[in-house]
Copies of this chain bind each other. A is one copy, B any other.
Amino acid sequence: MRDELRADLLEVGRLLVSMAEAVRTAMIHATGALLTADRAACEMVIARDAEVNELRRQVDEQVYATLARQAPVATDLRLVITGIQIAADLERMGDLAEHVAKTALRRHPAPAVPPELRDVIASMGAVADRMAGKVGLVLTTQNAPLGAELETDDDAMDELERQLFSILLHRDWPHGAEAAIDGALLGRFYERYADHAVNAGRQVVYLVTGETSEPPGAG
């Protein structure tokens, strides 16, 4: 790969690191706000999603500028375009953090998460945090094996979602339909966040190594 192209790709990578950090921070704060029914924190997460969207716009522009300047072909071309796809996954992760914050806000000042669900939601938040962190780390360290770990993390998230549903569906669930619906939707937001992290991670590995065991975008 030519040095100019490599330099442009590094710039795309830097923007993607900022996005990964932003959507990680968003989910940390959204989970905290959810568990403490913290209105100001919810509103901050919602307001700051615009920054993630703006970063995505910058990634897209940087990708198109790179294509225009470097006119890469074959594998290099695919590599550059991958930046657009990673940014799309990261933006969606930001949206999902925003959904968590909005769920908390809708119930405020009541807590959206009853005591029975606190542990499992906190665990889902922790797994989400770890996954977004790894996406960023693969970008900054070119550490591809870290990207592969995301699949295992995603299995852990799926298992937590099953736990969540088994609590919601227990015959003695005392909180009625509304809290059950909130719990199920929250579970889905975390699970989708993890899916997008896996997808982003797979493509990030491709971006930093040029190698893929599976086609980017699969799964």
Contact = CB atoms under 8 A, between A and B. Distances in A.
Interface of A: 56-57, 60, 64, 67-68, 71, 73-74, 77-78, 81, 84-85, 88, 165, 168-169, 173, 176-178, 180-181, 184-185, 188, 215, 217
A67 to B, nearest CB: 6
Contact of A185 (B88, B169, B184, B217): B184
Contact of A177 (B60, B85, B169, B215): B169
Given A68-B77, A173-B177, A180-B181, 17 more contacts: A56-B217, A60-B217, A64-B77, A64-B78, A68-B74, A81-B81, A81-B84, A84-B85, A85-B88, A88-B217, A165-B181, A168-B177, A177-B180, A181-B184, A184-B185, A185-B185, A185-B188
B169 A178 contact: yes
A71 B215 CA distance: 22
Contacts of A181: 165, 168-169, 180-181, 184
Number of copies: 2
A9 B169 CA distance: 50
A20 to B, nearest CB: 18
Contacts of A169: 177-178, 181
12 contacts: A56-B217, A60-B217, A64-B78, A84-B85, A85-B88, A88-B88, A169-B177, A173-B177, A184-B184, A184-B185, A185-B188, A188-B188
A80 to B, nearest CB: 10
Contacts of A71: 71, 73
Contacts of A81: 81, 84
Nearest to A192: B192
A64 to B, nearest CB: 6
A105 B165 CA distance: 17
The residue among A176, A181, A215 with the most chain B CB atoms within 10 A of its own CB is: A181
A81 B82 CA distance: 11
A1 B196 CA distance: 36
A189 to B, nearest CB: 10
Contacts of A184: 181, 184-185
